[in-house]
Amino acid sequence: MDINGVSAVVTGGASGIGAAAARQLAAGGAKVVVADLQEDAGRAVADEIGGAFCKVDVTNTDDIINAVEMAVSMGPLRVLVNSAGIGWAQRTVGKDGSYDSAANLDAFKKVIAINLIGSFDCIRIAATAMSRTEPDQYGERGAIVNIASVAAFDGQIGQASYSASKGGVVGMTLPIARDLAAIGVRVNTVAPGLIDTPIYGEGDASEAFKSNLQRGVLFPQRLGAPDELASMVLECITNSYMNAESIRVDGGIRMQPK
């Protein structure tokens, strides 16, 4: 699929993998809406790539519609990248054996609401707009890429909510791809391993933590770069025979229990 001149929505586009994907889409000629809650960082990325910023909470359908409508006004909407998400870690049972110390159920629900339900809401709204886009000569109207995680497959202790949310993203990829085939929209999911993003913080303590993490990576034994993930996102978009797949990009890591 040719992305030159099309519009795209990238949720979580203000930083990390989302920002890298936004930059690579723009380099290919797409007009990108950076959809994020981080206004300053989001506007900076949008200004850098000649796109637009839209403040979006992916748990708010009206925000999603605003971003999609903004993209439609910039060109034919053919691309959605679902990169917005949060992490959370907590053991299921507390140490003191009290019910109150069990895992925080509201926190579990929040992770699911953002990572899984938010991704689906973005898909259903963006795909609805894509269904009104003129198909290209091959009948293709668009491509959607979700960002999951290797935690969908190798969830660690304490990652129940995060793994459930990302496993849900992987699990819905095939049925949605089958569904959206009727309108000529492809759906794929990229599952990153340990990627060097702002989530790990900065400074000596952060570097020591990342150094310890990367020991489990098979090869190359380092954290991945956002651009390495973004290149796979771009491949899923531009390669018209990529559909209904979930792809690990992780240096061969298999996460240990903790």
pLDDT per residue as tens digits for the range 17-68: 999 999 999 999 999 999 999 999 999 999 999 999 999 999 999 999 999 9
Decide if 81 contacts 11 (C-beta within 8 A): yes
The reported pLDDT for the residue numbered 62 is 98
Question: Cα(244)–Cα(4) distance, rounded to whole angstroms?
Answer: 23
Question: Cα(218)–Cα(125) distance, rounded to whole angstroms?
Answer: 39
Residue 248 host element (H or E): strand 246-249
The reported pLDDT for the residue numbered 210 is 82
Chain centre distance of CA 233: 9
Sign of CA pseudo-dihedral 53, 197, 83, 92:
negative
Q: Calculate the alpha carbon distances from 6 to 52, 147, 231 in Å.
A: 14, 21, 18
Q: Which residue has the tokens 């748990």?
A: 59
Question: Cα(140)–Cα(182) distance, rounded to whole angstroms?
Answer: 10
- E runs forming strands in 5-161: 7-11, 31-36, 52-55, 77-82, 142-147
The reported pLDDT for the residue numbered 201 is 76
Which amino acid makes up residue 98?
S
The reported pLDDT for the residue numbered 212 is 83
Give catalytic residue positions. Answer: 162
Question: Cα(216)–Cα(194) distance, rounded to whole angstroms?
Answer: 10
Decide if 23 contacts 47 (C-beta within 8 A): no
The reported pLDDT for the residue numbered 171 is 98
The reported pLDDT for the residue numbered 204 is 87
Global confidence as pTM:
0.96
Spans in the chain with pLDDT lower than 50: none
The reported pLDDT for the residue numbered 213 is 82
The tens digit of pLDDT for each residue in 213-224 reads 898 999 999 999
Q: Which fold does the domain 7-249 belong to in CATH?
A: Rossmann fold (3.40.50)
The reported pLDDT for the residue numbered 198 is 74
The reported pLDDT for the residue numbered 206 is 82
Question: Cα(17)–Cα(6) distance, rounded to whole angstroms?
Answer: 20
Decide if 10 contacts 33 (C-beta within 8 A): yes
- The SS3 of residue 200 is helix
